[in-house]
Structure formats: structure tokens, C-alpha cells
Chains A and B, each alone.
Chain A
Amino acid sequence: MKFLGLIRANLFRKKMRFVLTIGSFAVALFLFGVLAVVRGAFSGGIDIAGADRLVVINRTSIIQPLPLAYADKIRRIPGVKELTYANWFGGVYQDEKNFFPQFAIDVDNQRRVYPEFDIPEEQWQNFVKDRQGAIAGAATAKRFGWKVGDRIPIKGTFLGGVWEFNLDGIYHGTRQADDETQFWFQWKRLDEQVPAQYKSHVGWYTVKVEHPDDSLRVSKAIDEGFANSPFETHTDTEKAFAAGWVKQFGNIQFLIMSIGGVVFFTLLLVTGNTMAIAVRERTGELAVLKAVGYSDRFVLLFVICESLLIALIGGCLGLGLAKLFTLGGDPTRGLLPFFFLPGEAILAGLGVTLLVGAASGIIPAVGAMRLRVVDALRRV
């Protein structure tokens, strides 16, 4: 601690250079934070997907329905614990820009398959009894200023007309990454309104298995059970289903890693050069330190500590700004429900910061360590 004053004094030696170097780290780490948020926004569904849940869709495409009658057949497969189903609605609230996902859900089984969504019991019971009822996620309710008891008009795009809903309840996720943007209403109400050929058909099934180890066997059993039928199925784990969904946007992970890699490599060059200049300017002073008894190892650590401290200040600033940026929530208003900077990303950011800080300081530090007092003083 007694050497901290020495390090601190050196940091502020060239204020402009200090600010610019800190700024380089801050910008890079801000970008890192935002990229982590974007990655999380796309892959958040994958990360939190239940390991014990399977999604069953029509083998042709998710937009093709499956018969409701499959529900009982699937339930009879050994290893299946719970089952629910849903349809995509795709309505518009006031304006097309007000996107949020709307699902017609199976009220009898929804909560058993998705226990992570928390709804007050009284609100849920009101919803079950109310054919025109709806439940909204907390984020969507907050976004539009909805309160329980409000009347919500949604314009149907596929089925047409304006669908009026009574907001009976608001659900909250029990984990930070849980999607709180959904809007649920009773599947039976949808079924009553769809054309005859779509009656008693669902968009997809979600199956909860007894144990995650059963997933593969149960998936195979479901798909084999409906093979060669007019509605063949494709069953996957919820995680794989979410990953497949993300893949439609391209290789987000690769894109983010590429951008991040280039940014940090550039940062390494910039800060490495800055540290080299900073050490070269102080050759005489470092020689004096050695002359009065500071060891080579001390000088090495001294330069690395300085580099680490610069990196850490800039990194914390950048990550702090990235965190602030996400506090406003999803800027796309619903397309990216998992829009937040996770703690792991902050830790990873700090790790990368320290790594770049150490790497940029190591060469000048070794140079300073090897510095011969006599040679250095001769140069002054």
C-alpha cells in the first residue's frame, strides 16, 4: 500500500495521455459490454431453456399446426411428466411498432410446465374463469402502463378483427433472464374463432420429461410415433429449439467474437505503445529507483501495476457505461427480451481488461527490469 502513492503519482504524470489511454479501455470495454448484451439478447433463451423440456413442432415448419389429439398420445409415452401447448397469435396493439409476443395457451397445464413464471393465485384463477382474460408479462405491462382490470384491444393480423382482452393478471419471471414480455390468453378462445380446418390444432407442444436424461429417448419416441402421418413431428430439447431460432439470424457468436477480437488486439497495440513510451520517458527515474535500492523485480511489478491500474480504471468505466446503457431495457421494444448485462459478462470483461493491461505492460516492464543503472544514467 505504501507504494500506491508512487504508482498514482505516475499515472497522472501526463494527464492527457492518461485520459486518452483510459478512454481507449473504456470505449473497448463499453463495446465488449454491449456485444455481450447483444449476444445474451440472442442466446438468452438458450441459456435459460429448461433442460427437462422438449418442444414438438410440425416437421415441415413451425407455422404448420399439429392436431390437438396428439396431446394424449404424447402423454402416454413413458418418461413424459407434463405437457402443454400453445399457438402464436401475432396481433398488433395500437401500432405495428408495439411488438410483443402473444400466445394462446393451455390454461390447464401452463403453470406446471413453466413454473418459472410467477402469477398471484387470485389473478390466475380470475384468468382461468374469464374466456376473454389475458395475462401480461411485467415488462410489457410496464411498457404500456397496463394495470390489472384494463381492457386491452389487440388487432388480429391472421384472423382479423379487434380482439378485446381483460387483463386479469401480470406475471413475473423468477430469474433475471426470464422473458417478461409475453401476453397470454386462453387457447380455447382462439380455437373458437379459427377457420374450421384449423380447429383443434395447436402451434406446438411443450413436453416436460421426468428427467433430463430421458430427453433423447422421449424425443425419438414422439417423432417415431407420428412418423408417416399427415402431421409428422420434429422434437427437440427447448435449448436446441432456442438455438435453432437464433441460428436464423446468422452466427451471432462468431460475429461478436470477431469484432471483440479485433477491438482488443488494437487496444493491446495502442496501450502497449503507450506504456513503452511512458517507461522510456522515465528511464532515468527508474535508474534512480534502482540506484537507491529498488530491486529489478520491484521495477517490473511497478510498471505492470501501473498498466493494470490504467486498464482497470478504463475497464470499469466502460463496463459501467455498458451497464447504464442496458438499464433502459430493450431498445427494440420487445424483439430482444433478454436485454441486460449479465454478471458473468462483467467478470469476463474485467478478466479481459486485466489480461490486456498485463500484456501491454509486460514488454516495457521487462525492459525496465533489465535496465542497467549505469547505462540509464549515462543517457539522462
Chain B
Amino acid sequence: MVRVDGGGGSNSLIKARGLGKTYSRGGEQIQVLQALNLDVEQGEFVAFMGPSGSGKTTLLNLLGGLDVPSAGSITVAGDEITHMSRSRLTQWRARHVGFIFQMYNLIPVLTAFQNVELPLLLTSLSKAQRRQHVETALGVVGLSDRMHHFPRQLSGGQEQRVTIARAIVSDPTFLLCDEPTGDLDRKSADEIMELLLRLVKDHKKTVLMVTHDPVVAARADVTLHLEKGVLVEAGRLQPVASGGVR
């Protein structure tokens, strides 16, 4: 169960304690996150909401090992990542984190297959094994028939599905989604949400998602609000009209 009071037990997959992040801009210290606690268990789907500048993306970056906190600690699956070196953190990300960005960030000169294969090139898998993994991932997101298309030949929703396939292909410990539906129309957004929910339900993936869209957030297990760098639980939401999964 997601907790923000620092009282989570040993079951927590992701555990943040006293997390703080301060930026220095023009000599001024800007505190984005302060003394934040968070516990997320395996297989949970957490949405983060909050006004612009509240620190949602910063929190996601810290949990994903893309940035280092100014204070506090983060432990994921028993690994304390806060004090890892830059190169070790890179290796850790490759193994544990799947990233899904708002702007998809696919490499335009690579096909869907090649984009999804990128994380696997860092592993010792053979070419045949990589092919099998990529085909499986693209199958999960329903793009088996588009694997040799370039991003420009795909719709926005399809591009985001390729990004999801790239995020899950190496079977990471958890997925971080930064506004995954922010650039999509409602229909495509619904499809992406269905897919993320399916990953949680069928594949026991843990998903942390930042969104501005309350309809999207409503489909997560729990929505947490960030207000001036402090995390507050908005409550466990019940089934919503548009999706009806929960």
C-alpha cells in the first residue's frame, strides 16, 4: 500500500525517506522537494498530480536515478541508490527502470523494432534472443504489425506504445511515466492508460506516473498530490466512468 507518512514496512519496493531537492538559480536557493516520504509496493500504480513547478517531474527524476537528491535517501528493491556513482547509477537504471516520456523521445532514424531493441543492446543477449524479446514487447503493446515502421510513419498513440515497449522490453523493476498521455487525444490517451493498467494487472508491473489530467490520474490505484514540494495523499479512487477498470 502506498504511504507518504514514512511508515511503510519492509514490503516497500520503493522507499524514499526525508527526500529533499534544492536548486540554485541566480544565487537563489529554490527548494523543490522537502522532507518527502514515500513507500510504494510491487504492482502498485501511483499517479502524481500537482500544479506546474510543484516538483512532480523532479520527484520522478530522483526515483529514476536521473538526478540526485539534496537530502534524504531512496531505496529501490533493497538498493540504496542515493549514493551510487554516476556510472553505477546508469547500470542500475538499465536494469531497474523503464522510462516513458510525454514526447515519446524515439530515435527517428530507427524503426520501432530498433528503438525497442536499444536497451537490450547493452545486455549479453544474442541477436535471436533480442529479437524474441522485442517481438514480445511489441506484441504486448499491440504493434507487432508495425515493428519495421519508422516513428514518422506512426500516429502519436502508436509512438507512445513503442516507447512503452522500449520501457518494458528489459523487464524493469518499475516504470516511470512523465505525462504519458499529455500529447495525445482522448482516445489515444485511453488506449495508453488501458495498456499501463494491463501491465500492472497482468504483468505485475509497478508504475509511477506524473499527469495533469484528473481523468487519467483517476485510473491509478492512488493519486498523490504535490503541493510546494510536499506530498499529500488524495485518496484511493473508485472506478471512473471513462475507463471502469477499478
Q: Which residues of A come within 8 Å of B, CB atoms? A: 2-3, 5-6, 9-10, 12-13, 284-285, 287-297, 373-374, 377, 380
Contact for A9 among B86, B114, B166, CB less than 8 A: B114
A289 — nearest CB in chain B belongs to which residue? B118
B24 within 8 Å of A by Cβ?
no
Judge whether B66 is part of the interface by a CB distance below 8 angstroms: yes
- Which 8 A/B pairs are nearest by Cβ-Cβ distance? A293-B94, A9-B109, A288-B105, A292-B119, A373-B66, A374-B67, A13-B109, A295-B90
Residues of A within 8 A of B121 (CB): 2-3, 6
Determine whether the beta carbon of A293 is less than 8 Å from that of B107. no
> Given A5-B114, A293-B122, A374-B66, are A288 and B107 also a contact pair (CB < 8 Å)?
yes
**Contact partners of B108 in chain A: CB under 8 A:** 13
Q: Is B101 an interface residue (CB 8 A)?
A: yes
CA A306 to CA B116, docked complex, whole Å: 22
Q: B110 at interface (Cβ–Cβ under 8 A)?
A: yes
Give me 12 A-to-B residue pairs in the complex whose CB atoms sit less than 8 angstroms apart, sorted by A's number.
A6-B110, A284-B105, A285-B105, A289-B118, A291-B64, A291-B99, A292-B93, A292-B99, A292-B166, A294-B90, A295-B91, A373-B66
Closest A residue, CB atoms, query B61 = A374
B residues with a Cβ closer than 8 A to A are 61, 64, 66-67, 86-87, 90-91, 93-95, 99, 101, 103, 105, 107-110, 114, 118-119, 121-122, 127, 166
Residue of A nearest to B90 (CB): A295
Q: Is the Cβ of B87 less than 8 Å from the Cβ of A295?
A: yes
Q: Which single residue of chain B is at the shortest CB-CB distance from A290?
A: B90
Chain A proximity of B219: nearest CB distance (Å): 25
Interface residue SS majority, chain A = helix
Complex formed: what's the CA distance from A380 to B121 in Å? 24
CA–CA, A380 to B66, complex, Å?
A: 16
| Contact, CB under 8 Å: A10 / B122 | no
In the complex, A12 Cα to B127 Cα: how many Å?
A: 23
A291: B residues at CB distance < 8 A = 64, 66, 93, 99
Task: List residues of chain A with CB within 8 A of the CB of B61.
Answer: 373-374
Chain B's closest residue to A282 (CB) is: B107
B-chain residues with CB within 8 Å of residue A3 when the two chains form the complex: 121
Extra 9 A-B pairs, beta carbons < 8 Å, given A5-B114, A380-B103: A285-B107, A288-B99, A292-B166, A294-B90, A294-B94, A294-B122, A295-B91, A296-B86, A377-B101
Residue in chain B with minimal CB distance to A294: B122
Q: Which residue of A lies closest to B166 (CB)?
A: A292
The answer to whether B127 and A2 have CB atoms under 8 Å apart is: yes
Residues of B with C-beta under 8 A to A288: 99, 101, 105, 107
Which of B64, B66, B86, B91 has the most A CB atoms < 10 Å from its CB? B66
A250: min CB distance to chain B, Å: 50
Write out the residue numbers on chain A whose beta carbons fall within 8 Å of the beta carbon of B93: 291-293
